[in-house]
A and B are shown apart, each in its own frame.
Chain A
Amino acid sequence: MMRLMLTLLVALMLLGQPALAARADFAPSRAVTYPPVRPDTRLEFPRDHGSHPDYRTEWWYLTGWLEEPGGGPLGFQVTFFRSRPPRESANPSAFNPRQLIFAHAALADPALGRLRHAERSARAGLGLAGAEAGNTRVWIDDWHLSLGADGRYRAHVAAEGWGLDLELAPTQSLLLQGQGGYSRKGPGAQEASHYYSWPQLRVSGTLRRDGRAVGVRGSAWLDHEWSTTILNPAAAGWDWTGVNLNDGGALMAFRIRDKTGGSLWAGGTRRDAAGGVRVFSPAEVSWRPLRQWRSPRTGVVYPVAWRLAVPGLAMELRPLLDDQELDGRGSTGTLYWEGAVRALAPGGAAGAEIGRGYLELTGYGGELDL
């Protein structure tokens, strides 16, 4: 009761009127201008291993197969995304979200029947998250992917119940995609990315699972790609695969789908065992779905098996397990299928495996927002 009057006193003293002199320094954010991806840009290394913070999006995509002693093969994915928001402000705060970093990690374990999956998101800054320019070093808290002075990548992810600590050594030179690393993704010249891959990485490291750590070995594939306008407005999603062929060769193929499921654009690159590289035009890449799988969690239907053909090479892609759906709606906002696949000789007998790789299916669960 006695407190009441004092509260009222304060309340009465605070009665005011509208409209104030605006505070000069505090201003809303302004739209940023992203640089376009240009065909004449020459990639240089190690500079282009690093981050390209001016572009809208960028990712370092590590996928591969692991063998554990006495166990079957496992698939793994460690991905870091960098995203530059469309608006920025002059805010001096260390929290100013000029760059956002996301990370997805997944382990495809046939014994479990689905992915073990974890994700992280953070704004770059305060030393807690970031993507360095000049060389590969991208991290969120203790998760990181970096390219060391010894020429090897190191990746570390730790989630609840599992984690990976991997070293990835190149066995071949890196592979520039498209025309010298300029990879067209659609009919418009702007619809492109800067893109290179590093196939046939030799993996060694430790897999921690349910409190038990085991040494693992395997082979992996790294993609590093950055762009500003990667997709045509008519695009609904894409299918992508990267396969380490058993003969030492490598195949990357993709197609951009329109809303009817037809191909809006396609492309790919093959490096044969001898090191010869061939880049495919849209008409040269053929994707034919063989089998559908419906996610019991989201109800989304994914074509998880394919017949893929490029000039001089045809294969069937068969998933290590069907359920490799990755729900990244909490971080990057995307729902997709990212899974380990075997490449089999087409129509051949069982076991005619010619390579192992990863298949990525996006845009099957609704609109894609990059």
Chain B
Amino acid sequence: MSALPDRPPGTACPSAIPALSHLLGVTLLGHWRGNLGRVLLSVLGIALGVAMGLAVELIHQVAVDDFAHSARRLSGQADLVLRGDGVGFPEALYPRLVADARVAAASPGVEATLTLPGRSESLKVLGLDPFRARALNQPGQAWLGGAAAAGMDRFSLLDPDAIALTEAAAGALGLAPGDSLPARAGTGSVRLRVVAVLPGAAGRHGLMDIAGAQWLFGEPGRIHRLDLRLAPGVDRDLFARELLAGLPPGVRVEAPEAPGSRAAEASRAYRVNLGVLAGIALFTGLFLVFTTQWLSVLRRRPQFALLRTLGATRGQLRTLLLTEAGLLGLLGAGLGAALGVGLAAAGLAALGGDLGAGYFAGLAPELRVPPGTLAAYLALGVGAALVGAWLPAREAARMSPARGLRPGDAETWLRGWQRPGPGLLLLGLGAALPFAPPLAGIPVFAYAAIALLILGAAALLPWLLARLGGRLPRPAGALSGLALARLTGAPGQAALAVAAIVVSVALVTAMAVMVTSFRDSVEAWLHQVLRADVYARSGRAEGSGYLDAAAQARLAALPGVAAAEFLRHRKLHLDPARPPVDLMARPISPATAGTVLPLREVLDAPLHPGTAPAWVSEAGRDLHGWRLGERFELPLGDARAAFTVAGVWRDYGRQHGTAVIDLAHYRRLTGDAAVNDAALWVTGMPAEAVARQLRQEFGPGLEVRLPGEVRRLSLAAFDRSFAVTYALEAVAVLVGLFGVSAVFSAQSLVRRAEFGVLRHLGMTRRQVGGMIAAEAALLALAGILTGALAGLAASLVLVAVVNPQSFHWSMDLRLPAGQLALFYAALLVLAALTALASSRAAMRGEAVLAAREE
């Protein structure tokens, strides 16, 4: 370092320029080689964020597209579709509309979900009249062709037990033409015959003749949909409005593409939630790039100073550093994109288009990778790296070459962190934002608030340390005294380590508190809703299984059954833009509601005149405006039935709104005597015996479950679905330790002289190590305390704002105190060890030489 050319700084030598770019390249490569571990981790961080985000986006895009496409195909060239909810509408509407001069063609349909005994999946079945379907170019054409190709006569698809399957359905069920398909109908069973596999048909569903479907699903005289093609020149919207006015309640008129947009709408909050998790991973990557570059700038100060004196401009230096980061980002993003596409393909294959969330049930979409999406995510990865590298690059460029050549002068440029303004501003915004309403149903501001709270705490801590530092009492031991002095005296440098720990601790705390709160709430909820001794279910809403009056009587009369309670579950379409709400009719009255349902709000005023009480879920209240004491109507039977909201309850089982009404009232309104579920109370024998008896008596037509079983399965499923958050917690811990390691590695460079002097003064290596460990532990402690506070605040936002706004689920706040304390302690120890490991070089004997150099 003594052979410097005698040239004033900042004057470039033209002949040195080619050599300079070469030098820059060498600098870059040398740096990467020397920090391979850090560089790889930064790349991985970026890759993880890009991969998660891209995979979620790809899967969702494919699922929504396929769902919309499939819905569109089922409607063929229809202009409008009339849809009834679960029970449909009278078939007489169909001839009436055929006779309407404004209707060019009409195709009736019966829709239901076929419950398949012995299989975990169910099959959506559409019953069509192939002759009418043909006029609208619905899949009927392929259906006729499919039967002919399978060697069946032309009439075979009209048989009531004949079913044609789409290729996807046939593949998923492992069926070929000629095979038989056992299915549940009511409490009995039927055997359907596969007569055709429809080539090229989208979606996973079965097609039947409408007559057979009506018979199978036990709904004579009713159809569920009517696809219409209008005569030329008829105004679609005007016709739809006029038509709607004359329709029975509960029947809606919509464009064929409506189901696709409804599905996209339904899964949006879920998608955003996954997107935020991907964002956290990407932020981690950004932070890793930041520390890597910061450290590299620190290490290469002499090199950069040399380059500057050789004629490199500030701009060139900045470009060098940003290029480095950009390359890291590109590497990470490329890796992430590949990983993301792979993840998406695997996810689609394993879980279907909804990542198992049930929004697009019955679809097996094929992965498509739109170049635009791919480019956007690559750009996101590179962008994150550039943002992470921007501050270090700027600082490196600002440094004056003369100072850079002097070791030990790395303090100045983090001084800005010691001002309280930015941190306070972030915290203030973070505290205010959760009160803003959601944007289009997405808690955008609450998510932003969480980020601001965590960043604000991290930004404020260095200033706080500096202010507090002077007032803290000096500890007795010389070593810890030195450590504390160091910490409070040079907070600029420590800021980074502290910030990393704050972010890490806050993320872990927030996620842990939220998951624990949710899990405890779910557990308590399960205890409250599962009160009976045995549960029996014949089918889901809109499914092909149900219990008729005779079956109900048989159930109630079984030996050992002291009491039986029945539940009718139906889907009601209220808002064309939203998924249907769940209607549950069960014996309930204002007096018993509190024991039957986990009520959150109870009405103590009288009902509106002429209404019956209904207890609605929180989602019903939020999405459909059913506030306590308000009057609302439901399309039941052939009229609109009026209800007053008598209570609001917590329903973790359904997401789009639930209304519970009294079963007897429901039967009076609709004349529908069937039920889906039965809850049985047992006396005089174990519940298991009754369950066994039920299975014998009804065969597998009835699913029989004991409440303990349901609880166990539900919680196991809960834990599985939250596994992703545990992985993210691990990543967050890595961020914290990474920050500590970066800071102490940097210090081992910068403080070589200091350590050398200390050794020179007679301190042993152990003593220096102890000082470093104490410093790191103190640093970590400050970070943990701040991070825990920030994390708690963030978890409050998650529990009280994000979850209610995204999913309309409230939960009770629970602190996993022991778990967190253990984690904090472990982090403290790990931070100290990381610091020691990173400072090895500084503690070695050469340090003494370094002091002499000085």
Contacts and interface: CB of A to CB of B under 8 A. Distances in A.
A24 B189 CA distance: 9
A23 B698 CA distance: 12
A330 interface: yes
B405 interface: no
Nearest to A331: B131
B160 interface: yes
A20 B809 contact: no
B717 A91 contact: no
Given A92-B215, A94-B91, 15 more contacts: A1-B725, A2-B518, A2-B807, A14-B115, A14-B120, A14-B122, A16-B117, A16-B700, A27-B161, A87-B159, A91-B212, A95-B108, A95-B210, A97-B158, A128-B95
A21 interface: yes
B77 interface: no
A1 B161 contact: no
A283 interface: no
A166 B277 CA distance: 72
A20 B91 CA distance: 31
A6 B653 contact: yes
Contact of B714 (A5, A27, A89): A5
Interface of B: 91, 94-95, 98, 108, 115, 117-120, 122, 129, 131-132, 134, 153-155, 158-161, 182, 184-191, 193, 209-212, 214-216, 220-221, 270, 273-274, 277, 355-359, 518, 522, 537, 540, 652-655, 698-701, 703, 705, 710, 713-714, 717-718, 720-722, 724-725, 803, 807, 809
Contacts of A122: 129, 131-132
Given A3-B807, A20-B182, A333-B154, A126 B358 contact: no
Contacts of A26: 160-161, 185, 188, 190, 215-216
A126 B129 CA distance: 13
Nearest to B361: A7
A347 interface: no
23 contacts: A1-B721, A2-B721, A2-B809, A4-B717, A6-B358, A6-B652, A6-B655, A8-B713, A15-B120, A17-B700, A19-B117, A21-B187, A26-B216, A29-B159, A85-B155, A87-B155, A91-B215, A93-B215, A95-B210, A97-B209, A121-B131, A123-B211, A141-B98
Which applies to chain A's interface (DSSP): helix, strand, loop or mixed?
loop
A23 B721 contact: no
Contacts of A87: 155, 159
B846 to A, nearest CB: 52
Contacts of B721: 1-2, 4-5, 8
Given A2-B518, A3-B655, A89-B160, A20 B700 contact: yes
Contacts of B108: 95
A12 interface: yes
A21 B211 contact: no
Contacts of B153: 86
Contacts of B209: 95, 97
A16 B118 contact: yes
B188 A5 contact: no
Nearest to B156: A87
A149 interface: no
Contact of B357 (A3, A16, A86, A127): A3
Interface of A: 1-24, 26-29, 85-87, 89, 91-97, 100, 121-123, 126-128, 141, 330, 333, 369
Contact of B95 (A7, A92, A127): A127
A343 B803 CA distance: 85
B134 A7 contact: no
Q: Which of B134, B188, B193, B725 has the most CB of A within 10 A?
A: B188
Contacts of B94: 126, 128
Contacts of A86: 153, 155
B189 A19 contact: yes
Nearest to B270: A3
Nearest to B153: A86
Contacts of B129: 95, 122-123
B652 A28 contact: no
A12 B160 contact: no
A149 to B, nearest CB: 24
B167 to A, nearest CB: 23
A9 B703 contact: no
B211 A95 contact: yes
Of residues A14, A20, A93, which shows the largest number of chain B Cβ atoms within 10 Å of its Cβ?
A20
Contact of B91 (A12, A97, A126): A126
A86 B159 CA distance: 10
A29 B211 CA distance: 12
Contact of A7 (B154, B220, B358, B713): B358
B120 A18 contact: no
A274 B721 CA distance: 92
Contacts of B714: 5, 9
A18 to B, nearest CB: 4
Contacts of A100: 131
Contacts of B518: 2
A330 B277 CA distance: 53
A5 B719 CA distance: 8
A369 B160 contact: no
Nearest to B717: A8
Given A26-B185, A330-B134, A13 B703 contact: yes
User: Of residues B115, B357, B653, which shows the largest number of chain A Cβ atoms within 10 Å of its Cβ?
Assistant: B357
A85 B157 CA distance: 11
Nearest to B710: A13
A365 to B, nearest CB: 15
B154 A12 contact: no
B598 to A, nearest CB: 15
Residue of B95, B158, B357, B700 with most chain A CB atoms under a 10 A cut-off:
B158
Contacts of B187: 21
A119 B809 CA distance: 56
Contacts of B221: 94
Contacts of A9: 653, 710, 713-714, 717
A19 B188 CA distance: 10
A369 B220 contact: no
Nearest to A18: B118
Contact of B211 (A1, A17, A93, A333): A93
Nearest to B115: A14
6 smallest CB-CB distances across A and B, nearest first, come from A20-B189, A23-B188, A8-B717, A4-B721, A95-B211, A7-B358
Contacts of A15: 120, 703
Contacts of B134: 121, 330
A95 B223 CA distance: 11
Nearest to B219: A93
A29 B191 CA distance: 13
Given A13-B703, A29-B159, A93-B215, A18 B117 contact: yes
Contacts of A14: 115, 120, 122, 537, 540, 703
A257 to B, nearest CB: 23
A223 to B, nearest CB: 24
Nearest to B677: A13
A28 to B, nearest CB: 5
Contacts of A29: 158-161
B713 A12 contact: yes
A1 B91 CA distance: 40
A18 B182 contact: yes
Given A93-B215, A121-B131, A22 B190 contact: yes
Interface centre among B182, B193, B652, B714 (most CB of A within 10 A): B714
B20 to A, nearest CB: 51
B208 to A, nearest CB: 11
Contact of B220 (A23, A93, A97): A93
A17 B159 contact: no
Given A19-B700, A22-B189, A96-B211, A4 B91 contact: no
A20 B699 contact: yes
A11 B705 CA distance: 13
B358 to A, nearest CB: 4
A127 B274 CA distance: 53
A94 B211 CA distance: 7
